[in-house]
Structure 1
């Protein structure tokens, strides 16, 4: 009937995944969901509170329309508003949960962190900061303007892989709220794995030459040149000679590797 009000009694999010059991274990172990119903390739989960119910369906199941059977749940964020977000992050870290974006606070008062389940489903826990009264500050003369910070790299910010050394600079754990920056050093002849990243990256080569293959196209980037890599496109980086580069990216970017389910955080960007 035109003009009739929508009467919603409950809400359910249906997710198509490769491994139903892995996602079911993740949501039940870390986020307090319980199994309401389950069968081969299917699980219905509920918390009994304001959180949306979840239905997990195995990719390829015939209950889905043919055009949707092979579409896996990606590119979405399942957000849950909570209270006591610091305690929640501490609890989840202690339980070994896969936290892929550490706790941060946005300028508009949203406090959040993210987990990623084994099928790549991103779960975001959110708490809104209590707004202060106009003019209210912690100390006399103190303002709400963010303080300038100087970040110095330390040995604890260095990640060595078989092909490169990444040294983290700015990141959410080191004073930045929006961007992550780091340096990459590669020895001559080294080649990184083929992968994609969910956010745009900007690479400025500071020494040597890098050969970057992206979406089937290969470019040589020499010292002083800058390369912009688009998000979600396969790339591979090769050092034909010893090379170094400076990289910048939004701090919530994660990597994907062909043939491997789920996403991987970039430790030097956390």
Structure 2
């Protein structure tokens, strides 16, 4: 039996991050990471930000909650690092070459969600 030809196409997934305060998270991502605020649902339970072709949703959660972790490929890792540092992003691990061969740095948001920016 032959393999069925796949016709559907997928885009990258849109993460939904747990946060204590959606509006505060949106403002932080705008100011410290260069995102634009997209929308905020009435009641402020869920909202979104976007930058380039990336969208992130936020959903208000009661603490304690487990933060999310995301890996972000940055082709020009030096420029990305310099930009986010100049915006005041909370860089918890500086740009360095890791033992596994990637050059990477780590950003943490106000709710503990982490982004590992990396390049080969």
Q: Normalising by structure 2, what TM-score?
A: 0.77
- The answer to whether structure 1 residue 78 and structure 2 residue 82 are counterparts is no
Among 119, 123, 128, the alignment partner of 2:115 is 123
Q: What secondary structure does 1:26 align onto?
A: helix
Q: What secondary structure does 1:12 align onto?
A: coil
| Cα deviation digits, residues 168-211 of structure 1 (max 9, x gap) | xxxxxxxxxxxxxxxxxxxxxxxxxxxxxxxxxxxxxxxxxxxx
- 1:109 shift after superposition: 2.8
- CA-atom RMSD, angstroms? 2.5
Q: Higher Cα Rg: structure 1 or 2?
A: 1
Which of the pair has the greater relative contact order for Cα pairs under 8 Å at 6+ separation?
Answer: 2
How many Å separate the matches in 2 of 1:117 and 1:102?
A: 15
Q: What secondary structure does 2:56 align onto?
A: strand
Q: What secondary structure does 2:59 align onto?
A: strand
Distance 1:20 1:80, change over 3 A: same
- 1:73 shift after superposition: 4.2
Among 8, 11, 14, the alignment partner of 1:12 is 14
Matched ranges for 1:164-203 at <5 A: none
Gaps of 5+ in 2: none
User: Larger % of helix: which?
Assistant: 2
How many Å separate the matches in 1 of 2:17 and 2:50?
A: 14
| Number of equivalenced pairs | 115
Partner of 2:51: 47
Among 91, 95, 105, the alignment partner of 2:97 is 105
Partner of 1:24: 26
